[in-house]
Homo-oligomer: A and B are copies of this chain.
Amino acid sequence: MDLRRLRYFVAVAEARSIGKAAERLRMAQPPLSVQIRKLEAEIGAPLFRRGTRGMDLTEAGQALLTRASEAMALAADGVEAARAVAAGKRGRLSVGYMFVLANAMLPRLIPELRRSVPGVDLEFAELSASTREARLLDRSVTVALCMPAINHPEIQVARIGSQPLMLAMPIRSPLARLAAVPMARLQGRPLIALPPPEQDPASSAVAALLRRHQVVMPVVSRVETVHSAMSLVLAGEGLAIVPACARLGAPRGIVFRPLRDAADSIDIAVCWRRDSQSALISRFLKCAEKAVARL
């Protein structure tokens, strides 16, 4: 069964005439006549009654007409839907993000996305660094917001901003009186650390910072998330070195201070599989850049 034949058939049925339909289809009358007869031969029964004043559907033709129109509409809709998905105008966008970025970015990002890709179903999942990577690779998330970027051959990265590292401490800490804390003052103080670099690359930035300034801070606790780290800081367990955006959503009683002499910062990046839906991702990228611009 050929969809062109059905298209011709519907045109003839609507025009009630081969000649008129041929005109509308921008083709000559004889080939259309041939196609209709071929269709009738394929069906094995006449679809039209040939009168002297044009053509008229038989009952069999009527039965075919409704289905044929629907089939054509469905095929056209399928093409249209595929184009829309490819253009990033429809579909599903699943965003894996990390906890620290949630308060800072999502309130700006989500409305921006709804405006930019109104036909797309959005989905958000707070995921650990390793989970984000795994779920990007198996495509169960489309993009990930990472700090810092994921390093993997299949994964592409776009840096959309950066966050300076800041010292988080209880408000009653003596260091809290300083507007900026010199690196040397950290020597020997207890550190609340994130998982080691091989599990969470964010902590390697902190490690590098300390190493460069030859500062040693004993690790008194390792926690999974910045949120947990804040709790321990508040409890007086130690200090934490975290991206500035952790301030948003941090509990009262914790203050953040920049580190003097240390311009270290950590990249915020959007990560996605190289072979993913590029149009949708570039739209997401624009939104993410806007959301991060006024952090």
A49 to B139, CA, bound (A): 13
Instruction: Tell me which residues across on chain B come within 8 A of A92, comparing CB atoms.
Output: 59
Distance (Å) between the CB of A94 and the closest chain B CB?
11
Instruction: Tell me which residues across on chain B come within 8 A of A33, comparing CB atoms.
Output: none
Contact B43 A60 (CB under 8 A): no
Name A44's contact: one of B71, B86, B277 (CB within 8 Å): B86
| B-contact 0/1 string along A64-107, CB 8 Å cutoff | 10111011101111110111111100111000000000000000
- The answer to whether the Cβ of A2 comes within 8 Å of any Cβ in the partner chain is yes
- The answer to whether the Cβ of A263 comes within 8 Å of any Cβ in the partner chain is no
A231 to B180, CA, bound (A): 117
Contact A78 B85 (CB under 8 A): no
Contact B3 A76 (CB under 8 A): no
Identity of the chain B residue whose Cβ is nearest the Cβ of A74 in the assembled complex: B71
Contact B90 A63 (CB under 8 A): yes
A74 to B6, CA, bound (A): 11
Instruction: Tell me which residues across on chain B come within 8 A of A178, comparing CB atoms.
Output: none
Contact A63 B82 (CB under 8 A): yes
- The answer to whether the Cβ of A134 comes within 8 Å of any Cβ in the partner chain is no
Contact A71 B78 (CB under 8 A): yes
Q: Which of A42, A63, A81, A275 has the most CB of B within 10 A?
A: A63
7 contacts between A and B (CB under 8 A): A3-B3, A6-B75, A46-B86, A49-B275, A60-B82, A60-B277, A63-B85
Identity of the chain B residue whose Cβ is nearest the Cβ of A61 in the assembled complex: B82
